[in-house]
Amino acid sequence: MWGEKMRLGITQMEIAAGDVKKNLKQGIELIEKAKEQACDLILLPEVWTTGFLFKKLKELSKTTPDILDKLKELSNNITICGSYVVDDKNSDKKVFNKFFAINGGEIVFEYTKAMLFGVTGEDRYFSSGDINQNNTFVINNITFGVSVCYELRFPEFFRKAAFEGALVHLHSAVWPISRLEHWQILTKARSIENQVYFLCSNGTGISGKWELAGHSTIYSPWGEQLCSLNMDTNISFIDIDLNIIEQARESLPSLYDSIKYFK
């Protein structure tokens, strides 16, 4: 039986494409709100400081080191998670989309988005991460899985994390409202099939040329919607009970059966 308990939060915000100062101010306000609510971990959307202003991503990536330093200063009593545009020094035009977990003044985990959304041209501006890279990390003896945006459509990423012991899965995204139904169905499905607490943080409003879907949500291991931010800029949080994961997996052992036959 797992005994650890944590208060976990999601954020949702309008991501102004290319306006780092505005985005950072808004994001820090949400982080501070999470700290006031004694959240142990807070999840922010994909590339929340810059958005997807493709032709300026190389330039915008230069702001990320200072931003990470600022977030390290804020991370003494909280783990801050989300993704950022990071310069690919081996390319004259490409960058990485990197997910960082920041805790206690340090980057304790990083993951590079592997699946790039070619429909919008991500593959022309981003270098992809290794498909076999580790996508789990441990905080407070709890294993977290990680994925970013388009990877939601690939259940292999989530199964891989579950096979490595993930009890909670964190998913950062900039997902359009035109595919809101897919967002709602797939996020719920990932929680059910892997029997994890599933946290997903998305942007809201207009970001560049895209209207975003919002609906950042936390699901239980049974796929129950525990909270949703709908279209609001705000935070929401829950106190997770890991015993519920054990109960779900014992009473309906689909994950255990998958581990038995497919791991």
Asked if residue 32 has pLDDT above 80, the reply is yes
Quickly state the pLDDT bin for 2 (edges 50, 70, 90). low
Instruction: List the chain domain ranges.
Output: 5-262
Which of helix, strand or coil describes residue 243?
helix
Quickly state the pLDDT bin for 5 (edges 50, 70, 90). confident
Separation of alpha carbons 184 and 204, rounded Å: 15
pLDDT tens-digit readout, 49-104? 999 999 999 999 999 999 999 999 999 999 999 999 999 999 999 999 999 999 99
* pLDDT of res. 1: 44
* pLDDT of res. 3: 54
Fold topology of 5-262: Nitrilase/N-carbamoyl-D-aminoacid amidohydrolase (3.60.110)
* pLDDT of res. 201: 98
With a CB cutoff of 8 Å and minimum separation 6, the contacts of 72 are 102, 105, 106, 107
Mean pLDDT (the chain) is 97
pLDDT tens-digit readout, 121-133? 999 999 999 999 9
**C-alpha of 9 from chain center:** 11
Which contacts (CB < 8 Å, 24+ apart) does range 53-57 have? 53/17, 53/18, 53/208, 54/121, 54/124, 54/125, 56/18, 57/85, 57/95, 57/125, 57/126
pLDDT tens-digit readout, 168-220? 999 999 999 999 999 999 999 999 999 999 999 999 999 999 999 999 999 99
For the annotated catalytic residues, the residue numbers are 46, 113, 149
pTM: 0.98
Question: What is the rounded average pLDDT of the residues 247-257?
Answer: 97
